[in-house]
Structure 1
């Protein structure tokens, strides 16, 4: 492996974390506002589609279509998911 590949993979990981954090923050924001919606199902479906397009498109852009940066981007996305679930878990609850 050369230094350029390490840089690509590191940027992929960081980009995946940023994209994941943005997607899960958007989900948190959306869930907080779904009660006020007159059509919550449509609202949730539209939000899911937008978040999915942003996540897949963003991961594809940061990877440049190359497999290793894409995999590290997905890893970063899952790390953001792990952090988000730990942040919103009520205090005092343990993992099963």
Structure 2
């Protein structure tokens, strides 16, 4: 089995790109949904387009190198974590949510 660090690095970057498309698109969709005439349709179309794009991107990597798929997933979820911290609520901690 040949270890190809370059391929895995590119797979990680590809996953990060897919993560930016998916989670960045989700953020934009939710942010602009209420301004749309039919927000439900906007959310549904966005979900379909985002899922189709990301699943196609994952499929490409999986067909090329199954081991690289895991690096793609790592990049994808790392972007999710980063965007959650960057774009998340201002106040974080146990007192952020209002509980009785």
TM-score, length basis structure 1: 0.84
Change (3 A) 1:92 1:34: closer
1:64, CA displacement in angstroms? Answer: 5.2
| Aligned counterpart, 1:13 | 12
1:26, CA displacement in angstroms? Answer: 1.3
User: Any unmatched runs of 5+ in structure 2?
Assistant: 95-100
Moved over 6 A (4+): none
SS in 2 for 1:32: helix
| Aligned counterpart, 2:56 | 57
TM-score, length basis structure 2: 0.81
| Bigger radius of gyration among the two | 2
Q: How many residues align?
A: 93
User: Any unmatched runs of 5+ in structure 1?
Assistant: none
User: In structure 1, how many angstroms separate the alpha carbons of the residues matched to 2:28 and 2:88?
Assistant: 16
Instruction: Determine which structure has the larger helix proportion and give its number.
Output: 1
User: In structure 2, how many angstroms separate the alpha carbons of the residues matched to 1:37 and 1:89?
Assistant: 23
